[in-house]
Amino acid sequence: MKKTIVVSFSGGRTSAFMCRVIQEYPQFTDMEKLFVFANTGKELEPTLEFVDRCDKEFKLNLIWLEAKVNPEMGVGTTYTITNYNNASRNGEPFEAVIKKYGLPSKQFPHCTRELKQRAIKAFLKDLDIDFMIAIGIRADERHRVNYKHDIWGENVIYPLADIAPVSSQFVIDWWKKQPFDLKLKTYEGNCDLCWKKSKRKRLTLLSEKPELAQWWNEMEFKYGEGKYLFDQREGISIAKQIKLSKKPFRKAVDESAPKAQLLIFEPKLDLEWACTCSSN
């Protein structure tokens, strides 16, 4: 059986660049290629537009997946196949995960596991193929590399860390030379108000797009039982984050903007958790 390289396209610049590497590098010439995107329902619309454009421009034959959560305990997540037009845009898959497993947080990071990894794994199981999965982690974030992945075992490769090592700035510069780009600032990627983002990024987003808080606030109210929050680092509810976003603070910087100046690192504002959903 010919080995297939499965490319997990998160929807961001880095993983889109990885798609091109997989298509063009000689190491992958003799391998079957399968490109998949797992939609959480909380991506910003420009992310979905970018995914669709990459699919068409790069001829990826992209498979759009969404997690299908069985509410019965002990029955694992499967998947549904969708497309750009029919993809969830109101957090439906994400809420199904929350309803079954509770609010995700640093202590219980089940959102990536259920919405991305297990949906893709269930799809690949049905295909019954011999595969390696490619994940878009760059050389400048090598601390995130895990060669014995808890979901993929040893069937995982990191092309942008090992085969074609690149930095965030390299990827940003590469996209500036292309006829299209992701129409988001670098801190806007991932699910729109992802709890893994730094506090500074979340407050910046809330100050610029306060409407993003509605869904997340509703999830805390419906499923938090008055004691569980997305942000367990400081115990800050979405409602409190909205209030904090209206006070003076130094906003996050768009690293893709010309002459972007990075801020001095402040742990209380800039700490964030690694995520394979990254859309930077």
Please, which residues bridge with residue 12 across strands?
Answer: none
Instruction: State both tokens at 154.
Output: 């040893």
What's the pTM value of the predicted model, to 2 decimals? Answer: 0.92
CA dist 176 and 28 (Å) reads 26
Strands 78-82 and 131-134: unpaired
> What sections of 36-91 are H helices per DSSP?
45-58
Burial of 119 (0-12, 13-18, 19+ CB in 10 A): buried
Beta-sheet strand order (sheet of 156-157):
78-82, 63-68, 32-39, 4-8, 131-134, 156-157
Max CA separation in the chain (angstroms): 59
47 within 8 A of 189, measured Cβ to Cβ: yes
Please, which residues bridge with residue 35 across strands?
Answer: 7
110 within 8 A of 153, measured Cβ to Cβ: no
Q: Looking at the structure, give the CATH architecture of the domain made up of residues 4-176.
A: 3-Layer(aba) Sandwich (3.40)
Using CA atoms of 46, 51, 55, 56 in order, give the dihedral in degrees to the nearest 10: 0
pLDDT at position 106: 84
CA dist 203 and 42 (Å) reads 17
Give ranges for CATH 3.40.50.620 in the chain. 4-176
Burial of 206 (0-12, 13-18, 19+ CB in 10 A): buried
What three-state secondary structure class fits 78?
Answer: strand
CA dist 204 and 135 (Å) reads 28
Which residues have a Cβ under 8 Å from the Cβ of 165 and sit 6 or more positions away?
138, 139
Give whole-number Cα distances, 97 to 100, 222, 252, in Å. Answer: 5, 13, 29
The size of the chain, in residues, is: 280
pLDDT along the chain (280 residues), means of 10: 91 96 92 97 97 98 98 94 98 97 90 95 96 94 84 91 94 96 92 92 96 97 92 88 95 80 55 56
pLDDT at position 279: 47
CA dist 97 and 110 (Å) reads 8
CA dist 239 and 254 (Å) reads 25
CA dist 187 and 118 (Å) reads 26
